[in-house]
């Protein structure tokens, strides 16, 4: 047999094997059609369209697979207090669980790629995560989170014991973020030989301190004029009450706002060593006769985070921050209107402009004074009706 013939026969023999290999390669794996089941692993199947995601289809498929894994990890709201926080934050349990799952997905570690499959248009991946490994890693992270939270909690207690109430509140709030991803867990800890449930203890401490704060308006009633600033500052005193006695609280953030009426004011202030925080109304813009400014402990400043999580927002919304209020009695600006109307040099007996102008100004909240000396504004109006070459009936109006 010639060498050429042998080569042809060898090629013919090899072709079927090559075709079988190509067919096997293009055959969709079983795990795409039938989801694998393995009690030792969390299974994640992810898909991405190459058409929709031409440059990052692998990342999209992997993220979908990890979301699939995270959805299998059970989330329970084990704390009665956390249940209250969820409800008062306006969330439903599913929203809270979604937050925990998103956090779980973001921190997933130890997963492994089992297989992948692709066509010209589609891409699939198969990931798995050992349940035992996940449990071990989660325990390590949980212990680290509790340690960080407990450190902040101890600092809060130390500040509270030395009478630094604002600082104590700040540290109590700062003890939440390390454990917020694990609030569905019991979060047991030990402090000073005492067994506690950390989240419950943090929340109870925040409630206790806030309920002990008393805000008192030192200038409860003020007078103001529309469009004008108020010369007298709005002062509020903050005390932390222990029985009938109270001690001033320093460095407490306070937020001022109109709850009735409107105007410009300095919105934020901190209490001084005497526990007094003050602000000024720069301008009253509402014509309401009675307006109210409220002073409230500024929890956002105490939380000290630009974008707090849904858990932290829930805590803030469920806590009752003490308030005080200021009543502002507002009067409109006064004006003295002086009009001079004439037609062709003759004084008008029955004036029309003066009453019309007063009505228009009155509609804008202005009141009128019988005396120019007592008025905020003096308005002089002169009107002449004359004959001009190109105007049969022209009116010249001059406001002084």
DSSP string, 322-369: -EEEEEEEEE--EEEEEEEEEETTEEPSS-SHHHHHHHHHHHTT-EE-
pLDDT of 43 higher than 60: yes
- What values do phi and psi take at 27, rounded to 5? -75, 130
pLDDT band of residue 232 (cuts 50, 70, 90) is very high
Under the banding of pLDDT at 50, 70 and 90, the label for residue 1 is low
Overall size of the chain counted in residues: 400
Q: Give the mean pLDDT of 85-100.
A: 69
232 and 201 co-located in one domain: no
Count up the domains in the chain and report the number. Answer: 4
Domain enclosing residue 242, as ranges: 215-301+319-331
d(CA 185, CA 179): 9
Per-residue pLDDT of 349-399, as tens digits, reads: 556 666 777 777 776 667 777 777 777 777 777 766 555 556 555 555 545
Given a cut of 60, whether residue 35 has pLDDT beyond it is: yes
In this structure, are 229 and 325 located in the same domain? yes
The pLDDT tens digits of the residues spanning 126-172 come to 999 999 999 999 899 999 999 999 999 999 999 999 999 999 999 99
In a domain, 2, yes or no: no
Average pLDDT over residues 69-85: 73
More confident site: 10 or 140 = 140
Name the domain boundary from 108, 133, 158: 133
Using 50, 70 and 90 to split pLDDT, how confident is the model at 92? low
pLDDT at 316 over 90: no
Q: What share of the chain is helix, strand, coil (3-state, %, to 5)?
A: 40, 30, 30
β partners of residue 41: 130
d(CA 341, CA 334): 22
The answer to whether residue 243 scores a pLDDT higher than 80 is: no
In a domain? residue 390 = no
> What is the rounded average pLDDT for all residues in the chain?
84
Q: Using CB atoms within 10 A of its CB, is residue 78 exposed (0-12), middle (13-18) or buried (19+)?
A: middle
Q: Quick one: average pLDDT of 269-278?
A: 97
Assigned domain for 179 exists: yes
Decide which of 115 and 9 is more confident. 115
For every residue of 53-89, DSSP letters joined together read -TTTHHHHHHHHHHHHHHHHS------HHHHHHHHHT
Percent of the chain surpassing pLDDT 70: 80
| CA angle (300, 234, 256) in 5-degree steps | 20
Per-residue model confidence (pLDDT) at position 344: 60
pTM for the whole structure: 0.74
39 with 116, same domain: the answer is yes
**Which pLDDT value is given to residue 119?**
95
CATH of the domain at 244: 2.60.40.10
Do 72 and 118 lie in one domain? The reply is yes
Instruction: Give yes or no: residues 352 and 284 share one domain.
Output: no
Q: Provide the pLDDT for residue 388.
A: 56
pLDDT tens sequence across 54-65 = 999 999 999 999
Per-residue pLDDT, averaged over 13-21, amounts to 47
> Going by C-beta distance under 8 Å and a sequence separation of 6 or more, which residues neighbour residue 116?
61, 123, 124, 125, 126
């Amino acid at each position: 047999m010639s060498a050429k013939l042998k080569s042809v026969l060898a090629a013919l023999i090899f072709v079927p094997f090559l075709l079988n290999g190509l067919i096997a390669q293009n055959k969709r794996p079983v795990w795409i059609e039938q989801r694998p089941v393995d009690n030792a692993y969390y299974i994640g199947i992810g898909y991405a369209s190459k058409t929709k995601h031409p440059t990052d289809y692998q990342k999209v498929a992997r993220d979908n697979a990890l979301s699939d894994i995270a959805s299998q990890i059970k989330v329970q709201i084990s704390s009665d207090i956390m249940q209250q926080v969820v409800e008062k934050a306006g969330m439903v349990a599913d929203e809270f669980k979604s937050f925990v799952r998103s956090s779980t997905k973001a921190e997933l570690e130890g997963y492994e790629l089992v297989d992948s499959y692709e066509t010209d248009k589609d891409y699939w991946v198969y990931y798995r995560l050992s349940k035992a490994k996940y449990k071990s890693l989660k325990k390590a992270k949980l212990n680290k989170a509790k340690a960080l939270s407990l450190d902040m909690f101890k600092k809060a207690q130390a500040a509270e014991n030395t009478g630094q109430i604002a600082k104590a509140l700040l540290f109590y709030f700062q003890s939440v973020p390390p454990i917020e991803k694990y609030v569905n867990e019991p979060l047991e800890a030990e402090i000073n030989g005492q067994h506690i449930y950390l989240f419950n203890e943090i929340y109870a401490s925040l409630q206790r301190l806030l309920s002990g704060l008393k805000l008192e308006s030192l200038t409860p009633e003020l007078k103001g004029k529309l469009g004008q600033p108020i010369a007298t500052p709005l002062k509020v005193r903050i005390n932390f009450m222990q029985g009938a006695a109270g001690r001033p609280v320093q460095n407490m953030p306070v937020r001022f706002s109109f709850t009735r009426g409107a105007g410009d004011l300095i919105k934020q202030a901190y209490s001084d060593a005497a526990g007094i925080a003050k602000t000024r109304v720069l301008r009253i813009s509402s014509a309401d006769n009675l307006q109210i400014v409220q002073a409230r402990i500024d929890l956002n400043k105490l939380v000290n985070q630009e974008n707090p999580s849904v858990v932290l927002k829930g805590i803030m919304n469920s806590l009752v921050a003490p308030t005080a209020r200021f009543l502002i009695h507002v009067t409109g600006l006064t004006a003295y209107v002086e009009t001079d109307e004439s037609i062709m040099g003759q004084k008008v007996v029955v004036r029309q402009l003066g009453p019309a102008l007063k009505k228009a100004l009155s509609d804008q909240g202005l009141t009128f004074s019988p005396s120019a000396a007592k008025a905020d504004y003096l308005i002089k109006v002169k009107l002449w009706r004359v004959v001009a070459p190109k105007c049969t009936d022209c009116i010249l109006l001059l406001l002084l």
